[in-house]
Amino acid sequence: MTLPAATDTVVIGAGQAGLTMSALLADAGRDHVVLERRSRLGGGWQDRWNSFCLVTPAWTASFPGFAYDGPDPDGYPPRDEVVDRLTAYASRLGAPVSLETEVRAVVPQPSGGFRVETSQGDLSAASVVVATGSFHVPRIPAIGTALPADVFQLHTHEYRDAAELPPGGVLVVGSGQSGVQIAEELSVAGRPVVLSVGSAGRIPRRYRGSDVFRWLAGLAAEDPAIGVRLPSVDELPDRRLRSAGNPHLSGHDGGHDTNLRQFAADGMTLIGRIEAVQDGRLRLAGDLPERLAAADRFFDERFRELADAYIERAGIGAPPDDRVPVTFEPPVLEELDLRRAGIGTVLWATGYGLDYGWVKAPILDEYGFPRHQRGVTDIPGLYFLGLLWQHNQASATLFGVSHDARHLAAQMGLRPS
């Protein structure tokens, strides 16, 4: 589409957050455009590896005016199905999306409103909604520079398939969702895998007879009649936890737990934090037992009581918890010689950094996150949607963004026309 010279609202990003915002703007009769830097719709899901599957059930891919109506609501769709669903949502909306339109600057104007500078020209807007998520710049630790030159390195952002990697074993650094799923995929493909365990926890695939996300989505809805909810960002003990790795589980092969102890029992090598690299040898912290114990405790400490309270207050007849713990204790290594272990690739599953340098306003906190109250900034007319922990841990998920979007729409004064 051809960009207008001016519009009421510019939405930046055409993933689930941007399209949800577009739906609410359209319902209110608000003139707007959605700017997307990619050449096709589908958001950041297009950047996932080839065999990626959602870790949430298909029914969570429901958006305002576009409830999931596919054949397998309890399945875990592959990457391309998620992309196709977002593309179909944009078509259903008739969303005014301008593809291949990179936003280079958002500049507040002295008289109010914004100048939005893009690769397709500039336009003015009374308000701007930044819906670009929180996964911007692949983050690789500085320690990577000390690895031997003959060891191939890549970030999960670049990973597509085991067959594309050089021969030999793979060291996966990081045990959030992506790292654990890719480590499992590589192991199934016959690669020797070493997994450096990080601080991310794990959650069960099923809890009390249902997919765990049945309970988490119910908590995210904050139904006042239920009276129990997920903790909000203001209740985090440390705001740096907004960048913590998401707890791991898998949607592959019908969905299953990803228990690191079971991985080790099945032959995967687990190591703790990498402290230093010298001459191709990794010096390791002896913290593997503590990291595994923390991952095991995560669900029980953070979500189990909330889920139980939700089940009770909603009057749901759910069976008791039938999880069976895995007690295997893998050996604790103090050193790993990459050559002796046959490691030809290091895959960094170490997350992403934020990049909002193109927003020309003093809105960032000391950790690089925008300062806001559930998406509303101190700059009149500037909003955010789809951030990690925008309101709670569900905010950046398929099922959580609609709750934040409706709140944001109310703060923007949007009313259905």
Q: Residue 145 and residue 128: Cα distance in Å, rounded?
A: 39
Q: Residue 89 and residue 109: Cα distance in Å, rounded?
A: 33
pTM of the model: 0.96
pLDDT reported for residue 417: 67
pLDDT reported for residue 241: 86
Q: Helix (H) and strand (E) counts for the chain?
A: 8, 19
Closest CA to 58 of 350, 301, 399, 391: 399
Positions of the chain with pLDDT lower than 70, given as ranges: 417
Give the 3-state secondary structure of residue 347: strand
